[in-house]
A and B are shown apart, each in its own frame.
Chain A
Amino acid sequence: MTSPTLHSVGRSTGFVALDFRAKAAIFVAASCLAILWDDVRFTVGLALIVLAGCRAAGISGSYLAFVLRVMSPFFVLLLGTHGFFNQQYVLRLTGQEQLTALIAVPEPWWVVGGMVLSKEGLLYGATAVGKSLTFLLLVPLCVFTTDPNQWVVGLVRLRIPFKFAFLISSTLRFFPLIFDEIQAVRETQRLRGFALETMGPLERVRTYGRIAVPVILSAMHKAQQIEVVLQSRAFSGRSDRTYLHSPELGAAGWITIVLSAAAVVAAVIVELTTGLGRFVTL
Chain B
Amino acid sequence: MPVPLVSFRQVSYEYPRSERPALLDVDLDIRAGEIVGLTGATGSGKTTLCLALNGTVPQFFGGRFYGRLLVEGRDTLDHPIHEQAAGVALVLQDPSAQLIAATVEQEIAFALENLRVPRAEIVLRIETALAAVGLSALRARHPHTLSGGQQQRLALAAAFATRPRLMVLDEPTSQLDPRSALGVFALIRELNAQYGIAFLITGHAPEEMAATVQRLVVLAGGRVVADAPPEDVYRDLPLLSRNSIRPPGVTVTFAQLAERGATRLAPPIRLEVGLEQIKHLPAPRPFDPPVATPAQSGVPILSLDRVSHVYADGTRALTDLTLEVHRRDYLAVLGQNGAGKSTLLRHFLHLLQPTEGSVRIDGALLATYSAPELAQRVGYVPQNPDRQLFNATVEAEVGFSLRVLSLPPGERERRIHTVLDSLGLLPLRHRHPFSLSRGDRARVVIAAVLALEPEILVFDEPTTGQDDEGARAILDLTRRLNQEGRTVILVTHHLSLLPGYANRAILLRGGRLVLDASLRTAFHDLEALASTDLQPTHAVALARAADDRLRTFTPEELAGLYGAHPTSQGSTP
Contact = CB atoms under 8 A, between A and B. Distances in A.
Nearest to B103: A147
Interface in A125-175: 147-150, 173
Interface stretch (A73-81, A104-112, A206-214): A206-214
Interface string A224-250: 011111111111100011111110000
Contacts of B109: 244
B453 to A, nearest CB: 12
A259 B386 CA distance: 51
Interface string B403-431: 01100000000000000000000000000
Given A3-B96, A214-B389, A193 B123 contact: no
Given A147-B106, A192-B401, A232-B54, A12 B140 contact: yes
Contact of A188 (B80, B101, B380): B380
A64 B114 CA distance: 36
B119 A243 contact: yes
B60 A198 contact: no
Contacts of A228: 51, 56, 60, 90, 92
Interface string B70-102: 000000000011110110011010101111111
B443 to A, nearest CB: 16
A185 B140 contact: no
A192 B449 contact: yes
A192 B105 CA distance: 42
A106 to B, nearest CB: 44
B97 A244 contact: no
B90 A232 contact: yes
Nearest to A2: B144
Contacts of A244: 105-106, 109, 112-113, 119, 122-123, 126
Given A184-B387, A217-B386, A242 B119 contact: yes
B390 A214 contact: yes
A185 B371 contact: no
Nearest to B145: A2
B311 interface: no
A61 B191 CA distance: 44
Contacts of A222: 97
Contacts of A5: 142, 144
B436 interface: no
Contacts of A191: 349, 351, 371, 374-375, 378-380
A75 B492 CA distance: 49
A6 B390 CA distance: 27
Contacts of A185: 387-388, 390
Contacts of A240: 116
A1 interface: yes
Contact of A241 (B114, B370, B387): B114
Contact of B388 (A2, A188, A232, A243): A188
Contact of A235 (B114, B380, B401): B114
Contacts of B336: none
A270 to B, nearest CB: 39
Contacts of A195: 370-372
Interface residues of A, number: 52
B391 interface: yes
B98 to A, nearest CB: 4
A184, A187, A193 — most chain B CB neighbours (10 Å): A193
B114 A234 contact: yes
B112 A194 contact: no
Interface in B129-173: 140, 142, 144-145, 158, 162
A186 to B, nearest CB: 10
Nearest to B115: A234
Contacts, number: 166
A218 interface: yes
Contact of A229 (B97, B113, B382, B386): B97
A242 B51 CA distance: 26
A233 B116 contact: no
A227 B61 CA distance: 11
Given A193-B401, A232-B54, A246-B119, A198 B97 contact: no
A204 interface: no
B401 A242 contact: no
B562 to A, nearest CB: 44
B488 interface: no
A55 interface: no
B106 A149 contact: yes
Nearest to A190: B371
Nearest to A221: B386
Given A3-B96, A5-B144, A149-B106, A241 B113 contact: yes
B116 A149 contact: no
Nearest to B56: A228
A150 B113 CA distance: 13
Contacts of B110: 149, 233, 235
Nearest to B144: A2
A195 B158 CA distance: 43
Given A191-B380, A231-B60, A241-B114, A225 B96 contact: no
Contacts of A230: 100
A217 B388 contact: no
B376 interface: yes
Contacts of B386: 214, 217-218
B489 interface: no
A155 B379 CA distance: 49
Contacts of B86: 234
Nearest to B110: A233
B118 interface: yes
Interface of B: 51, 54, 56, 60, 80-83, 85-86, 89-90, 92, 94, 96-102, 105-106, 109-119, 122-123, 126, 140, 142, 144-145, 158, 162, 312, 349, 351, 370-372, 374-376, 378-380, 382, 386-391, 400-401, 404-405, 434, 448-449, 452
23 contacts: A3-B144, A62-B312, A147-B102, A148-B100, A149-B100, A184-B387, A190-B371, A195-B372, A210-B390, A210-B400, A217-B386, A218-B386, A229-B98, A232-B56, A232-B89, A233-B162, A234-B82, A234-B83, A234-B111, A242-B116, A242-B117, A244-B106, A244-B109
Nearest 7 pairs between A and B by C-beta? A193-B375, A195-B371, A234-B114, A147-B102, A234-B85, A244-B109, A193-B404
